[in-house]
Chains A and B, each alone.
Chain A
Amino acid sequence: MNRLRQLEDQSVYILREAYKHFDNLAMLWSMGKDSTVLLWLARKAFLGHVPFPLLHVDTSYKIPAMIEYRDRLAREWRLNLVIGQNKEALTAGMNHTLGRVTCCTALKTDALKQLVEEKGYTGIILGVRADEEGTRAKERYFSPRDKNSEWDFRDQPPELWDQFKTAFPEGTHIRIHPLLDWTELNIWEYIKLENIPFIDLYLDRGDGTRYRSLGCAPCTFPIKSTAKTVDEIIEELRHTTIAERSGRAQDEGRGMELLRKDGYM
């Protein structure tokens, strides 16, 4: 069987397990390629429906085209969109010049924590992949977070035979990662296979650069690339040796490790 279909079947299985076991479930959607593939997989799993809300943690610094794209798909796919924002921090003037880790913590991690607490979600589905960077490789498909959203990766129960941790004590919640086994290349191959709509910021629109990963405008930089189509991206990825998130400032130094331990997605 085709590798992409295998990945799809596994992700669909995980999504269905999540939906079966969590009454208060939500999926994080950043409009990037990964979480959009994840959203598409949810439509696969639930035969065209998306039976849980999609959370967008809005830092207010997202590139405008992303918001347009978000609202268009939400309409067309009849999505239940829930938007979270750390208004307090924004009012107090939080921005990346105060320190990237500080800014991400306030506007993403804290905003998400607030949203999870307010809505009482017990399961959050995220589009992280194991190949993105070191710490993510230690993740499980179903990964518990304690009351403070903290994650102890040394003390994780095994995931045997597609049996996941779906029961948990009061006060914890579970993060669900259906894309763990996917690579960046798989994501693009799948976008092509299924013809999934994506933001054109990922393509070179004439200036010889494109975004390989999308985040907030001030902290995401395009890479040099002349890939103008999905096929060209796929070709490029087959040969690149540069890390995917090299255009993401937060990964410098030990940023990501710190962020993840505290509950960053």
Chain B
Amino acid sequence: MTATTAKPTEHLNIVLVGHVDHGKSTLLGRLYADTGSLPDGRLEKVQAICRQQGKEFEYAFLFDAFLEEQEQGITIDTARTFFTWNTRQYIIIDAPGHKEFLKNMISGAARAEAALLLIDAAEGVREQSIKHGYLLSLLGVKQVGVVVNKMDLVGYRQEVFEGIETEYRDFLAQLNVVPERVVPVSAKYGDNIVTRSERMSWYRGPTVLETLGLFRKETARAEQPLRFPVQDVYKFDARRILAGRVTAGRLKVGDRLVFSPSNKTANIKSVEAFNIEPQPIEAQAGQSIGITLDEQIFIERGEIASRQDEIPLVSTAFRANLFWLGRRPLERGKKYVLRLATREVDCEVAAIHRIIDAADLNQRQGASAVGRNEVADLTLRAKSPLSFDLYGSFETTGRFVLVDDFDIAGGGIITELVHDEQEFLRDEARRRDFAWVKGEVGLEERAQHFGHRAAVVLVTGAAHTGKSFLARKLEAFLVAEGRHAYLLDAENLRRGLDADLSQSQKADSAEMVRRYGEVARLLIDTGLIVVSTTNPFGLAHHQVIQAIRTLVHPAPVIAVHMSKTEEEPPPGTDLHFAGPKDFDAAARRILEELKRKGVLAHAIGAKPTFQYSI
């Protein structure tokens, strides 16, 4: 047999896992030699060297020598080798040590689309093979071929093989991994590697080479549902261009896009490009592009565009497998910056479910920190909702990194959405926003006209802390400055909008907050700055803040907390005043915060420049 020299038309990343000495190098040496993939004379040369040194020839030597040669001139930190067969190039990633291997695997230095897992027939299914199985499930590798090696040592006996096959299949089933094939081989003697073994005529399945051919290329990313994370918004000239890279699927002029998590919608007006004639009208996964929309909506970096019936998940929490590379351990409860596609948000580790030591693959439970080079199954909670996918369905939007002290210190793949309290309201907001009937005047035009963006200033605090006094003052200040502000008191809703409700209905705090939030949402759409004092609705302050944020999302909510004495403000507070004497100063402080958040354009009359957009 000879190797095909034709240029490969397809590439497939394969990871080779197996305990040291189970025969990985021998298997690869065989694969190269028996397919005629080695340079002329190589086999003879290594054989001659072995004779000279009085050593028994090993296919593993052959492979090692070849690897050295292949690597010359290429600098990569993963041990990988290339093997081409039938127009497909296999990039075979070897696992030299677990630590480096895991790092490389999780870091995506090499994303495996399939795995070959080696078991030593003479040893049977041992702890190592069990750990390797866990490893593959941890990495989300779905296509697995199991190779039972060294069959020569067990006399090529069918029942030995079948025992191992059954045991290992049962184990993998618990991890939801279904092996494509289980192949009995002897790498040393070349049985069932490239040529069918006569010594195991009882086996009718594919050889290792054929098994490689059976691995499917993952669905081309272009065939998946659309994911277009917004990288930046450019206004170099009259056009307002959303720049970014399509990470899955495709888009074309005229498509209706939904941006998550803001739920904004618009149609694609054009696909922008430089020095491409004629101007493109579509783009697909992998391409870095620019688009313009038919409507002036505020979109900012970090949003993910998709089609309405295929939107990504949205939550503040998810479960993930994470590999930690940081110098300091990853600690539960500490703040980290999470980066997912182009989104960046503060987060903390809410729970560490288990830790797997990368060196020996042992598991540990009940830890409160993840050390360097450990893999953890954990739940992360972000400060504000973000959109994402499960790694099993989407590669780019299903993985993230954590930044600790300026450095990227860990990477993870998302395995599960974790429901949060806001889910119900978020769904309501999303359904309402998708169906929202818009007039001709957009939010941006209103903002240009008014000289500020719409926002909510929510003043929370116990009774007699001066909440309403401050709120009134702020409203007055804003209007005096020429802003469009309105004080929305929950009491007014109670007597009007809610007048038909029974006492018990009025006692349903969650419902009262919902109504209040929806009224605020309406006012936001008119472009106003809504100043509101909440009476607590019988809910904890932070619950009110969260609910309002969800309902008026993505309009900014500035949460101001008042207390008589120094105390810990509720989570999510932006400004805290403890027993203020000077209310003018406090109101001015809020104005500053509104400027800082980009709500107020700096000067009235001047063309507003917004720091970031709604």
Chain A residues packing against B (C-beta within 8 Å): 1, 5-6, 8-10, 12-13, 16-17, 19-20, 43-49, 51, 130, 134, 137-138, 157-161, 163-165, 167-169, 194
Contacts and interface: CB of A to CB of B under 8 A. Distances in A.
23 contacts: A9-B288, A10-B288, A13-B231, A13-B245, A13-B288, A43-B275, A44-B273, A44-B274, A45-B243, A45-B288, A46-B236, A47-B241, A49-B236, A137-B75, A157-B409, A158-B325, A158-B411, A160-B108, A160-B408, A161-B108, A161-B411, A163-B408, A167-B403
B274 A43 contact: yes
A167 B336 CA distance: 13
Closest 10 CB pairs of A and B: A137-B75, A157-B407, A12-B288, A160-B411, A9-B288, A163-B401, A49-B236, A167-B406, A44-B274, A157-B408
A46 B233 CA distance: 10
Contacts of A16: 231-232, 243, 288
Nearest to A159: B408
A51 B399 CA distance: 31
Interface of B: 75, 103, 107-108, 231-232, 234, 236-237, 239, 241, 243, 245, 272-275, 286-288, 290, 301, 325, 337, 339, 396, 399, 401, 403, 406-409, 411
B274 A47 contact: yes
B288 A161 contact: no
A170 to B, nearest CB: 11
Given A16-B232, A158-B325, A47 B407 contact: no
B406 A168 contact: yes
Interface centre among B288, B301, B403 (most CB of A within 10 A): B288
Nearest to A8: B288
Nearest to A48: B274
A5 B396 CA distance: 19
Contacts of B108: 160-161
Contacts of B241: 47
A37 B107 CA distance: 29
Contacts of B272: 47
B231 A47 contact: no
A167 B239 CA distance: 29
A119 to B, nearest CB: 22
A238 to B, nearest CB: 13
A49 B290 CA distance: 13
Given A6-B286, A13-B245, A160-B107, A51 B231 contact: no
B278 to A, nearest CB: 16
Contacts of B75: 130, 134, 137-138
B358 to A, nearest CB: 14
Nearest to A195: B275
Contacts of B273: 44, 47
A83 B75 CA distance: 34
Given A16-B231, A44-B274, A47-B272, A9 B287 contact: yes
Contacts of A9: 245, 286-288
A20 B288 contact: no
B95 to A, nearest CB: 18
A194 B245 CA distance: 20
A169 B406 contact: yes
Contacts of A47: 234, 236, 239, 241, 272-274, 290
Given A46-B236, A47-B272, A161 B301 contact: no
Contact of A17 (B231, B274, B399, B407): B231
Contact of B406 (A12, A49, A161, A165): A165
A57 B394 CA distance: 44
B307 to A, nearest CB: 22
B407 A165 contact: yes
Contacts of A159: 408
Given A1-B286, A47-B236, A48-B274, A161 B407 contact: no
Contacts of A134: 75
A137 B74 CA distance: 8
Contacts of A19: 232
Nearest to A14: B288
Contact of A161 (B103, B286, B337, B396): B396
A130 B75 CA distance: 9
Nearest to A156: B407
Most buried by A among B237, B243, B403, B411: B243
A44 B276 CA distance: 10
Contacts of B407: 157, 165
A47 B243 CA distance: 10
A1 B107 CA distance: 24
Give the most central of A46, A163, A165: most B CB within 10 Å. Answer: A163
Nearest to A163: B401
A157 B288 CA distance: 25
Nearest to A164: B408
Nearest to B285: A1
Contacts of A130: 75
A10 B288 CA distance: 7
Contacts of B239: 47
Nearest to B233: A20
Given A9-B287, A158-B408, A165-B406, A44 B275 contact: yes
Given A51-B236, A160-B411, 9 more contacts: A9-B286, A13-B245, A17-B231, A20-B232, A44-B273, A158-B103, A158-B107, A158-B325, A160-B108
Contacts of A49: 236-237
B399 A161 contact: yes
A143 to B, nearest CB: 13
A62 B231 CA distance: 38
Nearest to B283: A9
A163 B399 CA distance: 11
A167 B273 CA distance: 29
A134 B239 CA distance: 43
A46 to B, nearest CB: 7
A138 B399 CA distance: 25
Nearest to A196: B275
Contacts of B411: 158, 160-161
A46 B396 CA distance: 23
Contacts of B401: 160-161, 163
A222 B98 CA distance: 48
A76 to B, nearest CB: 14
A20 to B, nearest CB: 5
A163 B406 contact: no
A8 B273 CA distance: 12
A79 to B, nearest CB: 14
Nearest to A17: B231
Nearest to B243: A16
Contacts of A160: 107-108, 401, 408, 411
B408 A194 contact: no
A86 B143 CA distance: 59
Nearest to B222: A1
A148 to B, nearest CB: 18
B407 to A, nearest CB: 4
B164 to A, nearest CB: 36
A43 B301 CA distance: 21
